[in-house]
């Protein structure tokens, strides 16, 4: 059962601040406050769904289109050597926030990723990176 009080639901309602990258009628993208690399963005649907098994086909299509759009902007803005896309379903798979989301994680050769969900970064550090990504949106 979907928890209306999960952190992403609260972000969507404006109850918790975030560094926004993009928003449209069906999706929302924002900087991960516990980034695995510089430029780590999360994409979520506005539809309440715990995981891929609960999300409607329309919600999934919208989330994938936004994920691709943001990934292209990350690539253009930050010029990483690669981009890792991740999506977890259920606690056993590593999901820690139970609102479906995609991670867009830029990767550079020889630069290790930070551990998932371990080190919090301040919004002031994330905002300049988000500004670059927003400027690269096509």
- What positions carry a catalytic annotation? 101
SS3 category, 65: helix
Contact indicator for 33, 42 with CB cutoff of 8 Å? no
Contact indicator for 34, 118 with CB cutoff of 8 Å? yes
- Treating both helix axes as pointing N-terminal to C-terminal, what angle do 57-78 and 123-136 enclose, rounded to 10 degrees? 100
């Amino acid at each position: 059962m979907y928890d209306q009080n999960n952190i992403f639901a609260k972000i969507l309602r404006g109850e918790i601040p975030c560094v926004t990258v993009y928003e449209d009628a069906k999706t929302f993208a924002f900087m991960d406050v516990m980034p695995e690399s510089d430029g780590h963005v999360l994409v979520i649907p506005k539809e309440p769904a715990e995981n891929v098994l609960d999300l409607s086909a329309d919600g999934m299509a919208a989330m994938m289109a936004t994920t691709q759009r943001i990934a292209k902007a990350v690539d253009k803005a930050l010029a990483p050597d690669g981009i890792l896309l991740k999506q977890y379903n259920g606690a056993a798979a590593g999901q820690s926030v139970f609102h479906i989301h995609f991670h867009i994680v830029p990767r550079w050769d020889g630069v290790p990723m930070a551990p998932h969900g371990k080190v919090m970064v301040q919004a002031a550090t994330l905002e300049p990176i988000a500004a670059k990504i927003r400027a690269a949106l096509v």
